[in-house]
Amino acid sequence: MTDATRTATLTLDGKEYSLPVLSPSVGPDVLDIRKLYGEADVFTFDPGFTSTAACESAITFIDGDKGELLHRGYPIEQLAAQSTHIELCYLLLYGELPTAAQLADFTGRVTKHTMVHEQMHNFFRGFRRDAHPMATMVGVVGAMSAFYHDSLDINDPWQREVASIRMIAKLPTIAAMAFKYSVGQPFVYPKNAFSYAGNFLNMCFAVPAEDYVVNPVLEKAMDRIMMLHADHEQNASTSTVRLAGSSGANPFACIAAGIACLWGPAHGGANQACLEMLREIGTVDRIPEYIAKAKDKNSGFRLMGFGHRVYKNFDPRATVMKESADEVLGLLGIENNPTLQVAKELERIALQDEYFVSKKLYPNVDFYSGIILDAMGFPTSMFTPIFAISRTVGWISQWKEMIAEKNQKIGRPRQLYVGSPKRDYVNIRHR
Ligand code: SDX
C-alpha cells in the first residue's frame, strides 16, 4: 500500500482529524479516509464515486483533462499504431511488454484454449434465436464455472492464471457462437492458424457452403478495435468485476457480472445506441433537431457516443477510431457512407455548440466504433459483445491485481439513510 506523504486536517464540531494524503505515481493525490468513520463517526458521501479512489492499481491511467490513456505507462496511440491486441493482453496481465519468445508462448497458450466444452453447444439451444447476444453471453460465461472446475480456486495462482487464459481465449468463441445462433447459422470452430482477430472474424462470417478469406484490412481494424476497448481504469463494469471478486466469487461469475454491467446504454451499450441514433438522424439536415433534443433536459435524449465521466477533452480512443473508420471505409470503397457523414457533421456541429463546449462533452470510444463494425457486416446487436470480448482482458487483469493484494477485503459501501426512524409494527386491524 502507498505510504502517506503528508496529512490533511478535517475540523468537525470543533474537533480536528488528520487524514493521511497518499501520492500516486501519476495523477491527483488522494485523502485516505479509511479511519475517518472509526475516529469521527461520519461517512463520506459520493454517489457514483465521481471523487472516490476505490483501489490502488498499476494497470491503466487516464488523464481526463489531457485526453491521455496509458496502459502500464504506454500511450494508447503508440500501442494502437505498433502493437496487437494479444500483445496488449500480455502487457495488461503481466505488466511489461513481452519478448518475442514470451509473446509466442503466450499466443500459443491463448490459441490452444479457444475451443469451448462441446456440451456448451447444447446450452445455447436453450435460448430463443432472437435473444440479444449479450443476454446469451451473460448466461454462457456465467455457466463456464459449471464446466471448468479446475480453474475455480481463486487462492491458487496457477488456477487464476488458467482461468485468465481461458477467458481471454474463449470469449471470442462464445460471442461468435451467440452471433451464429442468432442468425440461424451453424457454429464455426476456432482455427489455430488464424490471428486472434482473424479467428473471431472467421467464426462470425465463415459458412460451411464456402471458404471464408479473412480480409487483412478488416482483421487489422478488428484488432485495433479490440485494443482500444481493452481496459479503462475503474469504469462501471470493471468496478462490478472487482466488487464481485471481492466476495471470493469464481472468475467466470465475476466476468459474467462485468458483461451484465457493460450492457447498459450509458456504458458499453452506447456503441449500439450510437449507431441506431446516427441511423435515426439519417441525414445531416436533421442534425440540428437532435442537437436541440440533446440540450433539452426534458427530452430525456442524450447524444450517444458523446460525453464521459473522466475525459473532459477528446477521448484518445475516439481519435484513433475516427482515423480507423476513415481508413476502413475508404479501403472498402464506402467512404461516402451516409452514417459516417452524419457522424462527422454531428461531431463538427456539437463541438462548436456552447452547450457541449461548456459541459466538455466530446466524442467517446463508442462514437465511431459502430460505423466500422457496421461496415464489417456486424448487426448492431453484436457491437457490445465485441466490446465485452475486448474488455475481458481488462476485467481479468484488474481482478487478478485485486485478488493478489495482501489486505484485500470484501467491498461493502455504506449509505446516507433517509428512510423512516425505528417504529413499531401496526396490526392490520389498526391501519
Ligand atoms: C463508456 O467509465 C468509462 O471509462 C467508460 C468507458 C470505458 O471504456 O469503460 O469509457 C466506456 O461507457 C463510454 C461512455 C458511453 N456512454 C455514452 O456515450 C452515453 C452518452 N453519454 C452520457 O450518458 C454521459 O456522458 C456519461 C454517462 C458517459 C457520463 O456521464 P456523467 O459523467 O455522469 O455526466 P453527467 O451525466 O453528470 O452529465 C454532465 C452534464 C449533464 O448536464 P447537467 O445536469 O450538468 O446540466 O452533461 C450532460 C448531462 O445532461 N450530458 C449530456 C451527455 N452526456 C452528459 N448531454 C447530452 N448528451 C450527452 N451525451
Q: Respond yes or no: is residue 366 known to be catalytic.
A: yes
Place of cell 464455472: 145
| Ligand 1 atom index nearest CA of 364 | 13
Separation of alpha carbons 202 and 189, rounded Å: 9
R_g of the chain computed on alpha carbons: 23
Largest Cα separation within the chain, whole Å, is: 80
Rounded mean pLDDT of 247-265?
97
Check pLDDT > 90 for residue 335: no
Yes or no: say if 282 and 338 are a contact pair by the CB < 8 Å rule.
yes
The answer, yes or no, to whether any atom of ligand 1 lies below 6 A from the CB of 58, is no
Which of 290, 359, 369 has the most ligand 1 atoms within 8 A of CB, as the residue to mutate? 359
Distance 191 CA to ligand 1 centre (A): 39
- pLDDT tens, 352-362? 999 999 999 99
Supply 359's cell numbers. 459541459
Host H or E run for residue 22:
strand 15-22
Check pLDDT > 70 for residue 1: no
Supply 286's cell numbers. 436533421
Q: Which of 65, 40, 62 has its CA nearest to residue 53?
A: 62
Q: Respond yes or no: is residue 150 known to be catalytic.
A: no
| Residues whose CB is less than 8 angstroms from the CB of residue 308 and which lie 6 or more positions away in sequence, other chains included | 64, 315, 362, 364
In eight-state DSSP terms, residue 363 is B
Separation of alpha carbons 397 and 73, rounded Å: 15
Rounded mean pLDDT of 258-269?
96
- pLDDT tens, 279-291? 999 999 999 999 9
Please state the length of the chain. Answer: 431
Q: Lowest mean pLDDT: which of 21-35, 141-155, 203-217?
A: 141-155
Tell me the C-alpha to C-alpha distance, in Å, between residue 413 and each of 45, 116, 184, 392. 10, 37, 44, 25
Q: Which of 152, 213, 143 has its CA nearest to residue 174?
A: 143
| Per-chain mean pLDDT for the chain | 95
Strand partners, 210: 207
Strand partners, 197: none
The answer, yes or no, to whether any atom of ligand 1 lies below 6 A from the CB of 294, is yes
Separation of alpha carbons 173 and 124, rounded Å: 13
What's the confidence (pLDDT) of residue 180? 97
Q: Which residue has the least CA distance to atom 24 on ligand 1?
A: 307
What's the confidence (pLDDT) of residue 336? 86
The answer, yes or no, to whether any atom of ligand 1 lies below 6 A from the CB of 262, is no
The answer, yes or no, to whether any atom of ligand 1 lies below 6 A from the CB of 232, is yes
Q: Which residue has the least CA distance to atom 27 on ligand 1?
A: 266
- pLDDT tens, 370-410? 999 999 999 999 999 999 999 999 999 999 999 999 888 99
Distance 243 CA to ligand 1 centre (A): 22
Q: Which residue has the least CA distance to atom 7 on ligand 1?
A: 232
Catalytic residue among 71, 85, 267, 308: 308
Check pLDDT > 80 for residue 233: yes
Supply 120's cell numbers. 456448451
Distance 401 CA to ligand 1 centre (A): 28
Distance 310 CA to ligand 1 centre (A): 9
Separation of alpha carbons 390 and 384, rounded Å: 10
Task: Give me the amino acid identity at 10.
Answer: L
Distance 270 CA to ligand 1 centre (A): 10
Task: Give me the amino acid identity at 35.
Answer: K
